Structure 1
Amino acid sequence: MTTFAELGLSDALIATLSGLGYDEPTPIQAQTIPLLLAGRDVIAQAQTGTGKTAAFALPMIERVTDDLAVQALVLAPTRELAVQVAEAIHRYGRHRALRVLPIYGGQPIERQLRGLAQGVQIVVGTPGRVLDHLRRGSLRFDQLRMVVLDEADEMLDMGFAEELEAILQLVPAERQTALFSATLPPAVQNLTLRYTRQPVRVSIAAEQLAAPRIRQLYYEVLARDKLDALCRVLDAEMPQLAIVFCRTRQEADDIGERLQGRGYAAESLHGDLSQAVRDRVMRRFREGQLDVLVATDVAARGLDIAEVSHVINYDVPTDPESYVHRIGRTGRAGRDGVAITFITPRERRMLQTIERLTRTRIERRAMPTLADVAARRRAALRDQLREAMATPGLDSYTALVDELAATHDLRAIAAAAIKLLLNEAETEQVDTITRLEPARPERAERSERTERAPRAKRGEAAERSSRGEQGMARIQINLGRNDQVRPADIVGAIANEAGVPGRSIGAIEVRARASFVEVPRRAVRHVLQALNRTSLRGQRVRATLADETPVAA
């Protein structure tokens, strides 16, 4: 089956899908939709990024009536996934004006109570909050016809087994059940045996797991060089929106803050953040106010943002399924995507395992040089200039060109304008990341031993290296963590007051009572003068060359 019409969907729903840019079903949709339309129970093994939400949402929309009673329930492991699924169902079913309500913890329950009281047809929720509403009596299953367990393995891994059991025991016996899971461990299989009736098993073959529209690359770097490598790749790739995956919450926070310190519009997302903060971060990411989202695997579950152009694995995923989950965040809705993975020399076997089990070749790339980054920026500017020349509204600018052309060569005028736009003066600095070339095995082993050295010694070594870095000078600022100063504050002060671009600023270290920042050596006096005239967090700045006496403004 190659079209949605052949799956048995109504003309109105097909027209809606066409308007959303959906031309043909994915394999999981082609196999699942006819079964669910026929009323069969289904167990579907499908990874994120395969189109599984539409696989159950489209039949659900077709089977729900206009009665304002809860007729369908979707259970999801996280708040983010619940919201994403609810939004998708509302979008697919907009020709019917269906009432869909997401319910989850972290949101005022009064709002959910009002929504349920007004009447809804489809509820999408996390197990804990759904069970809470059932016990309150605010959620009733009298007319429930369909239950979907989305990412069932994740719900069990996150400790929702008891809540799932309690909910499934309260749903009507005569209902349709669909279970979607990336894996089918014994706990999930046990759940299906007890709560489904003669289910049809659907699975996507391994060779179909990695989306063909995703270009998969890897760079081999030393562990100590990963942050520099990440910045270089971001500069070279110029992603529209990028998600950087980390293993731990602490690492996500650390990388997010260090990227901010280097002038990138980045924030972190993980389970320790309050719901209000997570909502704010996701809103800014969706609206394009952020370029980079640094996230853990669990926090990024269910994120469905079609504009994500790049996924970057800061660490090699621990298993092939996690790899597929991660890269499934890009290349969505028919778009092309790029998946980049950083590996250390000791992680080559892990990458080979991922390639073997996903039946995918991941291309090795050499780290981009500063010249590569500059060429990429020029190419992007060339395209932007061509677009600008094709649009109206250039009269005031051509008048300025005519004025300059009276005394200067036109080519020189254009070159000077492009130089100002690209700020090419800053590219004269020495490439401090040339050490990102692949290391010899013995050097790699020494590096790994260094990574396990005590924290204090590593810090001292990093400080000595920073002071000696060619083309950069190290400035000390009298304010630190105790003054609520963050790297982004320092970057903003230097960029705004001294006119030094954020991406020309080097490493930033914020300590309890002081901070250190690297700036281009030729601009150091100008930066010092600018900082000594400004304030951070309401306090006067005193800036000096590191380990030297204050420089007068």
Structure 2
Amino acid sequence: MTTFYSLGLTKPVLKSLDQMGFEETTPIQAQTIPLALQGRDVIGQAQTGTGKTAAFGIPMIEKIDQDRNDIQGLVVAPTRELAIQVAEEINRLGKFKGVRALPIYGGQHMDRQIRALKDQNQIVVATPGRLLDHIRRRTIKLANVHTAVLDEADEMLNMGFIDDIKDILKSIPEQRQTLLFSATMPKAIRDIASTLMKKPEEVKVKAKEMTVENIEQYFVELQERQKFDALTRLLDIQAPALAIVFGRTKRRVDELTDGLQTRGFRAEGIHGDLTQGKRMSVLNKFKQGRVEILVATDVAARGLDISEVSHVYNFDIPQDPESYVHRIGRTGRAGRQGKAISFITHREKAQLHLIEKLTKKKVERLDVPSNDEAQRGQQQVAVDKLLKTMESSDLKAYHQAANELLQQHDSMELVAAALKLMTKERRETPVRLSGVQPISVKKAQYDKGKKKPYKRNDKKRDFNRKNSRNRKFNQKRGGRS
């Protein structure tokens, strides 16, 4: 296991990684980052979804001089979508160092791009055709580029961009570092490596084909702010014996743990900031069933082997498919059936498809349950407990008291009261996670009589109301002003 803290990265970059929830490197990152930090040219052979962007983005960001306004890093990507995605991730990685990346692609107004290129963007992520347009128009200055990245080079070859790539590399300084990433290595890509790179180191990471037996996999597609309410409803309906909820960051784990406890669940969290003693204490409670929900980061849950875990919930989808497989492998142990439910936003569906490809198993869609369905789920849990007690226990000692109650009260009301006593009725306390304010919070504020936020129409109505009062007051005074 390699953590980012062991790679000698600067504090601003580590802070960004911590906020993004990246604690442990993927194989391509562990092998590429140290070489790239040494200034070596690297050929990385890895599939999409293995963490390539951070593998080349981190070394590039570490070399950027943020006090300069010129372009120092260049990433060439085959498609508009990938260029946007890569630029967004580099911006997150460079957030605390003050490094900015600009995506440049076809289909966007050239004039707008020219204006954007004049701003302080130290890294440009571009598609080949549009980048060459700017080079030929001399609207982009690449004289100070020290790091160039070719991302998904084989895809650019398939799209007919190979000559464009050669022209681009010839237009930037020879004294540069070049990083090339490709899922396959056809001859044309090898030729680029041999003619336009300096003694490149090769890193080859083949995605493992991993199968997941005994685990039913589901996904719930929803907005970020809807995740927590959906999680609590599913917990009520599915009533897991023991469940693990995975969060992306330490902060997320703390927030989820507090939120679940507020709603009445027996939950505890573990992450890297806890002492070993505290971590073991939480795990022992979980094994003994005194805690029903364990909230954890990837690293904290590594090596966890508790056969009774029936459900795994991916509150945040992990950064690569192999981490997903390791997570859900916490359930379905010792021949038991397990369930894995992942919460994804619309933008994360591509990652879901990569997971399906890796596991060779379709992840089924699951609808978000309503509040009523969640309540019925908890009532059903109470019914099951009541029936189990009736079937497996000697109840003769209770017959006389039961008979007396039946003579005095309606049998329907008695059973309903028993079920009510046994049903966990969740507190509808609003919970806020990482700055996302759920609708239930706003509603609770209004219900308490707090002033609603101003809207433009509200201001206009108040202005008209004030003028109307002034007119009436003046009329009473005989029109005097």
Structure 2-normalised TM-score?
0.49
Greater relative CO (CA pairs within 8 A, separation 6+)? 2
Structure 1-normalised TM-score?
0.43
